[in-house]
Structure 1
């Protein structure tokens, strides 16, 4: 249980509602910032403006999956309030206060360094990333069906990257009958692709492996689908970029060539916000309990 633990949940989308439900269930004291337009209330949680929160008693700050932007602003779909997490506010928290975010950026990195607080990136954890791969794959299937006029079965699909998402995407599309080729850099990934019964290729040879491809699914957060690569694709090719913004695709050149290229980060929160929220909530609950136990709190 998290009885008496003061937690500030700041901004977010529908996923955060599952986090709030879980924390209430664990008897935490919640300050909800950026939820003033939420239709229903939560017993045991109070909706507050950010300047109304007593940060001197806050043991944890929970940010949305994207964290903040580069100016410190936190997005929310439940309020028109402009919410900025400042160094001044964070310095008011107890020294043990931990900030939880899906990912980080230069602003958040500087914030925790300057205030001496700890930042936990939930999406850097293997368990969160693997669980999230499930709704990501389902969302990718949905997008391919929506934006092509062929079946996935017997289509030619190139998956770029064999990380936690790439592996799940490649395996699922193969199970649906697609002819899947997977590009990777590491020799051990090439070996794993072969072991999975798929067609491996080295990413340095990417441009020579897309001349007949129907769908390209990128999971690598670096510029990989360049203009040179896109120039070798058939005009009907669909590119789906699952990497975090700005993705790894030259979208300008894709548009110039008339090739449909879609940036689709955060698919779990779009196609299955309840499940995606429960994934985050369960891991957060575990981490918060461990933090409380570590400080000897009851």
Structure 2
């Protein structure tokens, strides 16, 4: 098949290589495309394709009728591959590993024997918590649902309800936020010790006000698009697998 790939980081270069190795061809003209792949955040400003000057709506008019368009956006005529369950699961792997790398670069402590709080018990939160536990950390996992609290206890994590994070925040050496919603307010941020590190790996609007946290003296590390920046080859292969599977289902 003829693929047109419009990506905004290195993972799309590896996606292209993977597709070519599987027998597909790459083109750079929308009018000839059979499959179009847009970024995982396809239209960040609501007008242009992310990382380009191309107006999304004008670009789509150039794509042949019947072509398959993948992109990280909810819009008629575009398959939002970011919501594919398999992508969410597999993407947790490079995201968690990237978050741990940031912690090791920015914390004066080893992961081993550190008190680590993982905010959020989705795919990324659970996988990250498990990796930290395996490295010898004392892991607290926050969640909203009782069933996730049971999961945390079963896996050897200390469970805490998201609304009660403030009471354990002062004990933590490294805090990882995985929730793309404001779950950490001034009360929670004020409890973070000056020698602790707060690592933000969620997408916008993020789990807290980053500027406010820095004003309060919190050591904040922001990890944006970790799969694309720290593990682009693996991330590209994951996207290739997901797109191939989605095409086969059509």
> What TM-score, normalized to structure 1?
0.78
| Equivalent residue for 1:15, pick from 8, 11, 17 | 11
Q: Deviations over 1:15-48 (max 9, x none)?
A: 112221232234434223xxxxxxxxxxxxxxxx
Counterpart in the other structure of 1:146: 105
Residue 75 (structure 1) shift: 4.1
C-alpha distance in structure 1 between counterparts of 2:128 and 2:65, whole Å: 41
| Partner SS for 1:217 | strand
Counterpart in the other structure of 2:43: 68
| Partner SS for 2:194 | coil
Structure with bigger RCO (C-alpha 8 Å, 6+ apart): 2
C-alpha distance in structure 2 between counterparts of 1:194 and 1:255, whole Å: 33
Counterpart in the other structure of 1:6: 2
C-alpha distance in structure 2 between counterparts of 1:28 and 1:123, whole Å: 22
Counterpart in the other structure of 1:158: 117
| Partner SS for 2:27 | strand
Counterpart in the other structure of 1:42: none
Q: Deviations over 1:99-156 (max 9, x none)?
A: 212x32xxxx4xx34xxx1x22223222112222121122111111111111111111
Counterpart in the other structure of 1:194: 153
Residues 134 and 86 (structure 1), Cα distance of their counterparts in 2 relative to 1, 3 Å cut: closer
Counterpart in the other structure of 1:208: 167
C-alpha distance in structure 2 between counterparts of 1:7 and 1:172, whole Å: 36
Where structure 2 has 5 or more consecutive residues not aligned to the other structure, the ranges are none
Answer whether contact 1:16 1:277 (CA < 8 A) is retained. yes
Q: Deviations over 1:163-196 (max 9, x none)?
A: 1000011011111111111110011111111111
Q: Deviations over 1:182-214 (max 9, x none)?
A: 110011111111111111011111111212211
C-alpha distance in structure 2 between counterparts of 1:133 and 1:54, whole Å: 32
Residues 201 and 11 (structure 1), Cα distance of their counterparts in 2 relative to 1, 3 Å cut: closer
Q: How does 1:116-155 map to 2 (within 5 A)?
A: 117=77, 119-155=78-114
| Partner SS for 2:205 | coil
Q: How does 1:246-265 map to 2 (within 5 A)?
A: 246-265=205-224
C-alpha distance in structure 2 between counterparts of 1:271 and 1:89, whole Å: 30
Answer whether contact 1:22 1:285 (CA < 8 A) is retained. no
Counterpart in the other structure of 1:175: 134
| Partner SS for 1:132 | helix
C-alpha distance in structure 2 between counterparts of 1:184 and 1:91, whole Å: 43
Where structure 1 has 5 or more consecutive residues not aligned to the other structure, the ranges are 33-52, 77-81, 292-298
Residue 70 (structure 1) shift: 1.9
Give the aligned length. 250
C-alpha distance in structure 1 between counterparts of 2:7 and 2:140, whole Å: 39
> What TM-score, normalized to structure 2?
0.92
C-alpha distance in structure 2 between counterparts of 1:166 and 1:124, whole Å: 17
